[in-house]
Amino acid sequence: MKINWAENLRQNVHQLAESLGNLFVETFHYMALFAIGAVTAWAAVMEFLGMIEAGHIKIDDILLLFIYLELGAMVGIYFKTNHMPVRFLIYVAITALTRLLISNVSHHNPPDIGIIYLCGGILLLAFSILVVRYASSQFPSVKIAHPQRKIGAGSGEHPEVEKGEL
């Protein structure tokens, strides 16, 4: 019976350490998200101001702004759901490859096998989005008790699952 106090003390110390650890990890997590969001917004604004200063806008510049938009959307979705939307990373990659492809073509580089590689990469990434969407619809990360049941008046959405992930 005398060892019982030691076991209680050990459990209390363990709970305190776990709570402090969770606090530190979540604090770092949110500070890093704010920093990433702020840097993304700052970079997008600076790029936009650079376009205005240059006096003309190229398609490369517009696609770069779309990349910033997708990165900002990823940060926003992560704040709301605590899930990293892998699809958005793939969208960024597709936009980046498209930007590279358009840049190569618009600067009158002679056609070569590199264009085929870029197009193949874009096709592969588009196919990967299809696979991710199918997998997330067939194997959702959140179990739903009654998947056929409607939530609310005429709603087909489930509040527990991120839109597009069911």
Mean of the per-residue pLDDT values of the chain: 82
Distance from the first to the final alpha carbon of the chain: 52
Per-residue pLDDT at 166: 39
Token digits for 19?
A: 């709570």
Which parts of 52-123 are beta strand (E)?
A: none
- CA R_g for the chain: 24
Over residues 29-88, the pLDDT tens digits come to: 889 989 999 999 999 999 999 999 998 888 888 888 988 988 888 888 888 887 777 888
Whether the per-residue pLDDT at 112 is higher than 90: the answer is no
* CB count in 10 Å sphere of residue 35: 11
pLDDT tens, position by position, 150-163 = 455 554 544 444 44
pLDDT at 165: 45
d(CA 92, CA 66): 8
Q: Note the pTM of the prediction, 2 decimals.
A: 0.65
pLDDT band for 15, please (50, 70, 90 cuts): very high
